[in-house]
Every structure is written in structure tokens, then in C-alpha cells.
Amino acid sequence: MAIIVDRDTRLVVQGLTGSEGRFHGLRNRNYETNVVAGVTPGKGGQNVEGIPVFNTVADSVTETGANTTLIFVPARFATDAIYEAVDAGLGTVICITEHIPAHIGPNCPGVLSPGKANVGIIPAEIFTEGSIGLVSRSGTLTYQIGHELTQLGLGNSTIVGIGGDPVVGSSFIDVLERFESDPETELIVLVGEIGGDEEEKAARFVQEQVTKPVLAYIAGFSAPPGKTMGHAGAIISGSAGTAQAKKEALEAVDIEVGTTPTEVAQLVADRFGART
């Protein structure tokens, strides 16, 4: 099985008629994700290359049995879009929209279960099916590590981008708990960043609740204290939130931390007995 998205996913794309929603919605469908509907208020009755468009999420659920949504609406409408999806009974809401106010959050690159479903903007072609679960705050680093693993002949069960903002929809702990319960996931890679204390919380959770091996990478070792580095969540003050502090917290519970994405991939390969 996969976590979050799989072959049973029935996807509605909120904002399918917009340029980004159309591009990625069709791209996800081309990956054989079951995209059953789009939603754009006032454009109900239209279609995008055969995908029916509805005025409301509730209508799309009633007519198509959608169970997952992908949000590409402009930032000023995204909060309402999230609430509308939840009110319609959708259990999985994946929001790609950027520039949502930080106190509301969140945004992410999406979720990919190789060979089963791709929901979001993750470049699925660089990943292969396998037994490595990957959860990350950074989209770009997710792609790089996925590519490195593929080059080593290793694949992923599910890749989850949780985003790097201070308010997230799903935390490291939420995803780690699912990977721990997933029989197809043998090993977990956690990709963190400077700022906040999510990695430290994850370390405590791994120590208490996770039996599977966990490896990690932390971005931002060269970031100076007191600076905001890209993501709204990446703010460090003194020693709190630094890459070194996170590395030490993870290593204290026997989570090996690679110094580069390439090294992390090699550490994973070593665990699987694969050598370059």
C-alpha cells in the first residue's frame, strides 16, 4: 500500500481552468492519477480535455465520488477553497498555492506514490517504485534526493512534501506515523531545514514510536543566525533552529544525518547493501 495517495485516489483539482491548475492537473492525469473533476465557480458544465468542471467541490464529490483535492486557486481564495473542500467531506487536501498568509498556511509540492498516483508538482519521472519513504520540508531537495536514490537503483514507497512554512497541514510526525504503519515502507528519509523545532519534535517521536530505520538531511548549515532564509518558517535565533542543533537532536536518538543530499542517498544505499 501507499500512504495518502494511491490507485484509489479520485482527484478533483480546484482551479483546473487556470494555467497552473490545467498544466499540473493534466500532468498528474498523464501519470495515470485518476483526475475525475475540476472546480471553478461560474465555469460548471465546461471541461478541460475531457475532465468535467463543476461550480463547487460538493457538486464534484456528489457527481464523481472525488475523495482528494489539489488546490491551485490564487492565494486570496485559497483559504476558502481549503474550507470548502473540508466541508465537502474530502479527507485529503493538498494545497500548492503559494503566498497564503503565514498564520493560515500552508503550501507544499504535493504527494507522489511512484507507479500509483501523483498529486501536485513533484516531477514523478525522476522517482521509481520502492520501499523508501521520504518526507521533506523542501521541494527542491526532495527532487534531488529522489534522483540520487534512482541513480543508485533505489525507489520510494511515497514522497510527501509538507512545506517549509511555520504553519503546515501535516507535520513530520503525522507522516512518520503513517510510514511506520505502512508495510511497503522499510526505511524513512527525513529532509529538514533551519528554523522552528519540527525536526526536534520528530526526533523525539522517532525515539518513542518508530521502529523502522530513519536517516536525515538538514539544509542550511551555512545560514547566519538571525536571518530569514527563504521559507517563512526558516528563522533562526541564536542556537535555536540551526542546522547544527537539529543535527545534534537527530543524532542523539541514533538518526544518521548526511552532510549532503548525495551522502544521504549513499547512506540509504549502504543500509540496503547497495554500493556504487
Coil/strand/helix, residue 199? helix
DSSP three-state, residue 276: coil
Helical segments of the chain, H only: 19-30, 57-64, 75-87, 139-151, 172-181, 198-209, 243-251, 261-271
Q: Is 231 a catalytic site residue? A: yes
Which residue, 207, 216, 208, is CA-closest to 188?
216
- Cα torsion 133, 202, 3, 47: sign: negative
Angle, helices 57-64 vs 75-87, to 10°: value is: 40
Neighbours of 23 (CB within 10 A): 12
Residue 24 has which C-alpha cell? 499540473
Candidate list 24, 99, 147, 231, residue with the active-site label: 231
Q: Residue 50 is placed in which grid cell?
A: 475531457
The separation between CA 229 and the C-alpha centre of its own chain, rounded to angstroms, equals 20
Query: Which residues are catalytically annotated?
Result: 231
